[in-house]
């Protein structure tokens, strides 16, 4: 007897991405919906018939009617697969109306694991679900995974929540014991909540979200193909990538005299994937005024390639040589402004914030003058 399935979690369908501009916001939402089809493809590609979503299928307890309906129809369209949904903390059982609608409008190939009672998806195989009863249950719901099953069964725990001391929302200590699989005699424990992929033990994994939603986790998002050859046999877990968008943080340490635009260009991802990349460049170190102006021009030139682009230069200091100010002007109002900004930037009696502002203002003035002269 063997069993295999696709383990995923944290689809967060309907997430609003409210802090992003409208265009990319819509594309990010659409990519989350599209992940249903990509998960189906991943399952089929691995020869699997069952997809288990370990919580947070939906971002909110009351998703927009079209978010819910589109998801249910997309799952229905993958008619050769079965979808098993566990209520997570974002879509907990407290969302009674959501789960009532899913029950009423959901397709026949969708199973809601809304009770901690063991559920058998295949002969000899038992799911031991721990659905979230509310957003913060405040107790270890995975105790239910110790429930008895017939002898010789494959036992698969399905839970959602933080293990020991880390949690996705940073809210403090978790409550799922990291050795839950051992404690409850599980062949595998499928967890959701953490949005990055993470192995907690040989038989315990967070799948992570199949479509990234932030810069926090570096691995390419995917789902887990879980194979159990026999009860008690070591589980085999492989990753299959499912993400559309890449969220990339790029650190750019600089030194005066360096060719900052060339350094930047060498670090940028290949041109082909840029439309589906959200890129955040974080520069630090020091540059001369001319180097900084060149870097800013290069950043502005690359930005439209990307789905979203942000450069953080707050930690990049400016190094000024006397000759640099001659490029602004040899005298007059602009030169006077430049001289006083330079004096302020070097003034030890000022706080670091005030000096940084003076530096940035000087860099702006310099870049502006170059622009006008060009």
Where do contacts with Mn ion occur on this chain (CB under 5 A)? 10, 56
Place of tokens 């702006």: 364
State the minimum distance, in angstroms, from the CB of residue 160 to Mn ion: 8
Instruction: List the end-to-end C-alpha distance of the chain, in Å, as a whole number.
Output: 74
State the minimum distance, in angstroms, from the CB of residue 56 to Mn ion: 4
State the minimum distance, in angstroms, from the CB of residue 345 to Mn ion: 44
Nearest 10 degrees: Cα torsion 120, 3, 194, 72:
-60
The nearer residue to Mn ion, 88 or 118, going by C-beta atoms, is 88
State the minimum distance, in angstroms, from the CB of residue 57 to Mn ion: 10
State the minimum distance, in angstroms, from the CB of residue 167 to Mn ion: 10
Q: What value, to the nearest 5°, has the Cα angle with vertex 219 and ends 228 and 166?
A: 80
State the minimum distance, in angstroms, from the CB of residue 184 to Mn ion: 23
Beta strands in the chain, from DSSP E residues, in sequence order: 3-8, 50-53, 82-85, 110-112, 119-122, 125-130, 154-160, 188-192, 198-201, 204-206, 222-228, 236-241, 246-254, 277-288, 308-319
Pairing of strands 3-8, 188-192: unpaired
CA 52, 53, 55, 60 torsion-angle sign: negative
The nearer residue to Mn ion, 50 or 56, going by C-beta atoms, is 56
State the minimum distance, in angstroms, from the CB of residue 221 to Mn ion: 13
The nearer residue to Mn ion, 56 or 78, going by C-beta atoms, is 56
The nearer residue to Mn ion, 10 or 50, going by C-beta atoms, is 10
The nearer residue to Mn ion, 221 or 256, going by C-beta atoms, is 221
The nearer residue to Mn ion, 126 or 204, going by C-beta atoms, is 204
Under 8 Å between Cβ of 90 and 59: yes
The nearer residue to Mn ion, 56 or 296, going by C-beta atoms, is 56
Phi, psi of 137 (to 5 degrees): -65, -30
Establish how many alpha carbons lie within 13 A of residue 94's alpha carbon, considering only the half-sphere containing its beta carbon: 12
């Amino acid at each position: 007897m063997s069993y295999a399935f696709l383990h995923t979690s944290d689809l967060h369908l309907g997430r609003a991405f409210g802090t992003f501009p409208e265009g990319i916001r819509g594309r990010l939402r659409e990519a989350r919906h599209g992940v249903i089809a990509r998960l189906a493809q991943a399952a089929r590609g691995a020869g699997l018939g069952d997809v288990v979503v370990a919580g947070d299928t939906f971002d909110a307890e009351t998703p927009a009617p079209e978010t819910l309906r589109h998801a249910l129809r997309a799952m229905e369209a993958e008619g050769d697969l079965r979808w098993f949904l566990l209520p997570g903390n974002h879509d907990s059982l407290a969302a009674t109306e959501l789960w009532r609608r899913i029950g009423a409008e959901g397709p026949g190939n969708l199973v809601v694991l809304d009770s901690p009672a063991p559920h058998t998806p295949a002969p000899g195989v038992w799911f031991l679900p721990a659905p979230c009863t509310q957003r913060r249950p405040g107790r270890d719901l995975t105790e239910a995974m110790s429930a008895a099953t017939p002898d010789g069964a494959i036992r698969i725990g399905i839970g959602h929540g933080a293990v020991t001391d880390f949690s996705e929302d940073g809210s403090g200590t978790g409550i799922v014991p990291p050795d839950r699989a051992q404690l409850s005699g599980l062949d595998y424990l499928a967890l959701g909540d953490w949005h990055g992929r993470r192995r907690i033990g040989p038989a315990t994994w967070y799948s992570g979200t199949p479509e990234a939603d932030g810069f926090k986790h570096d691995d390419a998002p995917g789902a887990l193909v879980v194979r159990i050859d026999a009860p008690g046999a070591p589980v085999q877990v492989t990753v299959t990538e499912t993400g559309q968008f890449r969220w990339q943080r790029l650190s750019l340490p600089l030194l005066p005299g360096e060719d900052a635009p060339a350094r930047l260009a060498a670090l940028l991802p290949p041109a082909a994937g840029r439309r589906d990349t959200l890129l955040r460049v974080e520069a630090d170190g020091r540059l001369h005024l001319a180097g900084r102006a060149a870097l800013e021009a290069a950043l502005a030139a690359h930005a439209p390639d990307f789905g979203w682009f942000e450069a953080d230069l707050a930690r990049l200091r400016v190094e000024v040589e006397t000759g640099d100010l001659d490029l602004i002007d040899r005298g007059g109002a602009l030169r006077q402004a430049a001289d006083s900004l330079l004096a302020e930037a070097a003034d030890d009696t000022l706080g670091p914030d005030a000096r940084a502002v003076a530096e940035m203002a000087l860099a702006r003035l310099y870049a502006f003058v170059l622009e006008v002269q060009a």
